[in-house]
Amino acid sequence: MLPVLLLDRAIEDTMNNNHVLDRLINKIASRREDNLETSYTARLLSSGPVRSAQKVGEEAVEVAIEATLGNTDTLISESADLLYHLLVLWVSMGVSSHKVWAKLEAREKI
């Protein structure tokens, strides 16, 4: 269980739209117009949602493999890659993170 101070900070950050995933999705969206030669994110976004979806699939498989092998450190790294590519897919598809968070909150009540 999170200490109260950390939990309070997490709630405050969420309420202030400062969650790391929200900050990252905003950064990803801002990269859409970056130089394709120097920005992996810009290249991925310019490739369209199909390529982003493929990357999500690849990363999900890598997460599953590392979990089954019990490689915690690599699992953490691959999980970060998966979340990044999922956010790129959301940006590519015009999906708002807030709609996903609302769906998760609704499911939390079930």
Of 39, 17, 28, the closest CA to residue 86 belongs to 28
CA 105/CA 12 separation, integer angstroms: 16
Q: Does the reported pTM lie above 0.85?
A: no
pLDDT bin (cut points 50, 70, 90) of residue 2 is very low
> Residue 85's closest CA among 64, 46, 54, 47?
54
The pLDDT of 35-52, averaged and rounded, is: 96
Residue-level pLDDT at 69: 98
Buried b (16+ CB within 10 A) or exposed e, 49-59: bebbbebbeeb
Confidence of residue 17 (pLDDT cuts 50, 70, 90): low
Q: Are 41 and 84 in contact (CB under 8 A)?
A: no
pLDDT tens digits, one per residue of 48-99: 999 999 999 999 999 999 999 999 999 999 999 999 999 999 999 999 999 9
Q: Is CATH 1.10.287.1080 the right assignment for the domain spanning 4-103?
A: yes
pLDDT band at 19 (very low <50, low <70, confident <90, very high): confident
The pLDDT, as a whole number, for residue 3 is 47
Describe the crossing of helices 20-30 and 97-108 by its angle, rounded to 10 degrees.
160
